[in-house]
Structure 1
């Protein structure tokens, strides 16, 4: 699936506030959907780039031959999910912000994994 379709599918997840596809080498979004006054996706993309970079540095420093499946940030009213795409896409991750009161975290993680695996850039 292409970027536009992937973002639309991410926004179809119950409780979705905003979604983005981000290049963590540059910190720039390749596409965003949703957000608005409730969530500035460009700021979120840049900030979450630092999270992904920090985790990659930590894995290297620990000498772990592992890859990140996803990263969950839990806020009082929201879940923020970061899902790196497969290695064939290089340095990209999908980002999804969910309203905790409307979203199902397990279902969102499962759906985001499917979207990331189906993405063609």
Structure 2
């Protein structure tokens, strides 16, 4: 991902995008964030760093050797997608979406495109 600000702006162009961030899952540090709403993306990113850390620890305990690509959480009114960057696996792109306005496949594709750009 070359330009954090431009990448996050591109993610926010998705229909139903509430907020997006780039964070380090090991430290919980947010490296960039953008929002179309009053969604607390910094707090959500820190919490989702815990989700990724827990999943990584579980995979290690189970002796699983694959890599996490995406973690998706479907809530009643929102979809949250955490995308681990292949080029820098300590970093994650994260987007929160309004589930009534968004398309999961398009959102996953956009995160993948931005991560590789």
TM-score (norm 2): 0.94
User: Helix, strand or coil: the match of 1:64?
Assistant: coil
CA distance in 1, matches of 2:112, 2:11: 10
Post-superposition CA distance 1:4-57 (Å, at most 9, x none): 1110111011110000000111101101000542x1011101100000001101
CA distance in 2, matches of 1:57, 1:35: 33
Q: Runs of 5+ in structure 2 lacking a partner?
A: none
Post-superposition CA distance 1:46-99 (Å, at most 9, x none): 10000000110111111111000100001100000000111x324100000000
Aligned Cα root-mean-square deviation (Å): 1.1
Aligned to 2:49: 49
Question: Does the CA-based 8 Å contact 1:35-1:41 persist in structure 2?
Answer: no
CA distance in 1, matches of 2:17, 2:51: 21
TM-score (norm 1): 0.91
Q: Runs of 5+ in structure 1 lacking a partner?
A: none
CA distance in 2, matches of 1:111, 1:81: 11
CA distance in 2, matches of 1:34, 1:5: 13
Aligned to 1:21: 22
1:27-106 matches, within 5 Å, as: 27-34=28-35, 36-37=37-38, 39-86=39-86, 88-106=87-105
User: Helix, strand or coil: the match of 1:111?
Assistant: helix
CA distance in 2, matches of 1:28, 1:15: 25
